[in-house]
Amino acid sequence: MYRKTYTKINCDILKNNIINIKENYHYKYYIGVVKANAYGHGDYIINSLIQGGINYLAASSLEECLSIRKRNENIPILCLEPINQEFLNICEKENITITIPDYEYFKKLNFNLKLKAHLKIDSGMNRLGVKNKNQVKEIHDTLKNSNIFLEGIYTHLGTSGMWDKHYDNDLKTFEDLTSLIDLKTIPIVHISRSLTLVTHKMPKYVTGVRLGIIMFGFPQKLTKPKGLRLIKRNMYLKKHHISEITYENNLNLKTAFSLHTEIITIKNVKKGEYVGYGAKYIAKEDMKVAIIPIGFADGLIKKYENQMVKINNKEYELIGEVGMDMTAIKIDDSIKLHDHVIIFDDAKKKAQELGISAYQLFTSITTRVPRIYEENGHLTEIKY
């Protein structure tokens, strides 16, 4: 790499996360959702996920699916968003499974194409999906006599159901909308996502699970309410007939993602001088400042200001405003030019410190930041 700002991803950790999930939750199909450049980890990781036990992949767009296909020729890939029908011949050629998002899309399909399809059911989110049981039956029956194989049916439940009735209502809606067909004849029925996987037991007709952020170490453990809060919650659940939540699990997941850079210059700053844009940081004493080549364009959102970073196993504070490409650190005399700087090595802790979701933490780090992958002690660099 030319600029020593990079992320490091431990593929062995990701593989072991999948193994651990499979040991605790038993499905026939484990669908690894690797949209948004595999949650910022990069498409390179997909073969490690497959080695761990992922047997289906899913992404948002045809562009993402085709990028993933370059990494693995055989794994089936589901496109979660509707693909413009003029490009469905590409899906036929590249073994990309399509989503049927509504009845109108279904009516325009070319039934001579040899495709696999998953029918999306709108159980309450009002994004994608069919909302009429007769249309569900028509789609099911029509595809039985066409070249398009209805391999799956799925929905996306909008809430975790931990404090509301929506989860239970949405599940009942899904069952009602599919009541005119035999779900046992559909190979893949998938409803759960990462959080609901660990909080709810799935009905017996469910054969698959979509694994997203959980593959990357989130979520792991839930905190059970205590005392008065637990009493109030139990009363609320009973009053509204909300299904019970499972808090305990045997998962031991780890994050595999860390962010690194180096010191490119050291400045001596006198008392009263300022550092960075807006002159917002004024030195209260003579001090030393290190400049690192990382900023907004690399994923350091504004909330990183005043965060701590590690240099030589010691913590130092980011000061001043984060720039687009450079940021300042207050240092001491022990720090030298080109010293290695760890922005974070515990993604779970860093997301909590910043007050953001893991999704935002990972996907905000742009593809101009090279990814370095560790597998069995070997390092591989991927540039974008």
Over residues 99-114, the mean pLDDT reads 97
pLDDT computed for residue 8 by the predictor: 97
pLDDT computed for residue 384 by the predictor: 67
Percent of the chain residues past pLDDT 70, beyond the cut: 99
Write down the CATH number for the domain with range 257-345. Answer: 2.40.37.10
pLDDT computed for residue 216 by the predictor: 97
Domain ranges of the chain: 11-216, 257-345
Bridge-based pairing of strands 314-319 and 308-311 is: antiparallel
How sure is the predictor about 165, in pLDDT bands with cuts at 50, 70 and 90? confident
Return the CATH number of 11-216, one of 3.30.420.40, 3.20.20.10, 3.30.300.30, 1.10.1740.10: 3.20.20.10
* Among the ranges given (55-69, 172-186, 209-223), the one the predictor scored with the smallest mean pLDDT: 209-223
pLDDT computed for residue 263 by the predictor: 98
How sure is the predictor about 70, in pLDDT bands with cuts at 50, 70 and 90? very high
At residue 229, does pLDDT exceed 80?
no
Mean pLDDT of the residues in the chain: 94
pLDDT computed for residue 321 by the predictor: 92
Q: What angle do CA 353, 354, 356 make, to 5 degrees?
A: 115
At residue 93, does pLDDT exceed 80?
yes
pLDDT computed for residue 225 by the predictor: 73
pLDDT computed for residue 245 by the predictor: 79
pLDDT computed for residue 220 by the predictor: 65
Burial of 345 (0-12, 13-18, 19+ CB in 10 A): middle
Q: What is the pLDDT of residues 71-85, one digit of tens each?
A: 999 999 999 999 999
How sure is the predictor about 221, in pLDDT bands with cuts at 50, 70 and 90? low
Bridge-based pairing of strands 208-211 and 274-275 is: unpaired
The kind and range of the H/E element at 76 are none
Bridge-based pairing of strands 308-311 and 6-10 is: unpaired
Alpha-carbon distance of 63 to 51, in angstroms, equals 24
Instruction: For residue 99, give every residue at least 6 positions away whose Cβ sits within 8 Å of its Cβ, in sequence order, or none.
Output: 78, 79, 80, 81, 82, 83, 117, 118, 119, 120, 128
Is the pLDDT higher at 167 or at 173? 173
Does the pTM surpass 0.85? The reply is yes
pLDDT computed for residue 226 by the predictor: 79
Is the pLDDT higher at 158 or at 338? 338
Q: Say if CB 362 and CB 40 are below 8 A apart.
A: yes
Alpha-carbon distance of 59 to 212, in angstroms, equals 10
Cα torsion 228, 234, 236, 239 to 10°: value is -140
pLDDT computed for residue 345 by the predictor: 96
At residue 160, does pLDDT exceed 80?
no
Bridge-based pairing of strands 340-344 and 257-262 is: antiparallel
pLDDT computed for residue 224 by the predictor: 73
* Residue 164: alpha-carbon gap to chain centroid: 24
pLDDT computed for residue 51 by the predictor: 98
Q: What is the pLDDT of residues 352-372, one digit of tens each?
A: 999 999 999 999 999 999 999
Q: What is the pLDDT of residues 17-45, one digit of tens each?
A: 999 999 999 999 999 999 999 999 999 99
- Beta carbons within 10 angstroms of residue 328's beta carbon: 21
At residue 223, does pLDDT exceed 90?
no
pLDDT computed for residue 232 by the predictor: 79
